[in-house]
Amino acid sequence: MQSEKKVPDYLADDFSLYLENMDSLADPENPELLANYLSNLFEQLKQMPLLFSGMIDQLAMAISTKVRIDSKNLAKVELNDEPAWGDIKPFVGVHNDARACITEIMADAEQDLKTAILLIHFYNSYDATPMAAEDDENDSFDDDEFNDYDENY
């Protein structure tokens, strides 16, 4: 099922990077690759909470397994225009082992944290299934044109 939710323009560039990074690490032949990478990334962040300042996609990856987002209720918030942190904070839960790290990021890099949370929210509801192409009457072809081709090629 194709999601109708469009990523807002203010998130488009960061979302594209986040999506590309997450997809490149999601290897069906090595399912632990993504989990291990995210775990290692968070351990680095835990040691230095402002490590990914300005690198929103990396921050989002590092905290993606440490935050729980109530996307059902967050989806009710108007996100087409960039919301304030206070508008989305009530919908974010933080795992105990990440609380100190996330609190420091919130104090010193609130904008980055807010954007990272929104990237995770949109990623979790993102449907990468291509939309079905609409029939274009101008592009239609007559099957009779192809009757002279050998089907046993």
Q: How far is residue 68 from each of residues 91, 97, 121, measured CA to CA in Å?
A: 8, 13, 9
- Residue indicated by tokens 């304030």: 84
d(C-alpha 76, C-alpha 53), whole Å = 28
- Mean pLDDT (the chain) is 85
Residue 138 resides in a domain: no
Q: Rounded distance, CA 76 to CA 70, Å? A: 10
Please indicate, yes or no, if residue 102 is contained in any of the structural domains: yes
- Residue 142 within any structural domain of the chain: no
> Looking at the domain assignment, is residue 149 inside a domain?
no
88: containing domain: 9-128
Count of domains forming the chain: 1
Residue 66 belongs to what H/E stretch? none
Residue 100 lies in a domain: yes
Residue 25 counted as domain residue:
yes
* Domain-embedded: residue 110: yes
CB atoms within 10 A of CB 5: 14
Q: Residue 129: pLDDT band by 50, 70, 90 thresholds?
A: low
Q: Among 19-28, 37-46, 64-73, 76-85, whose mean pLDDT is lowest?
A: 19-28
Q: Which residues contact 41 (CB under 8 A, 6 or more apart)?
A: 58, 61, 62
Residue 139 pLDDT > 80 = no
- Cα–Cα distance, 1 to 40 (Å, whole number): 33
Residue 137, in any domain of the structure: no
Q: Give tens-digit pLDDT for 88-116.
A: 999 999 999 999 999 999 999 999 999 99
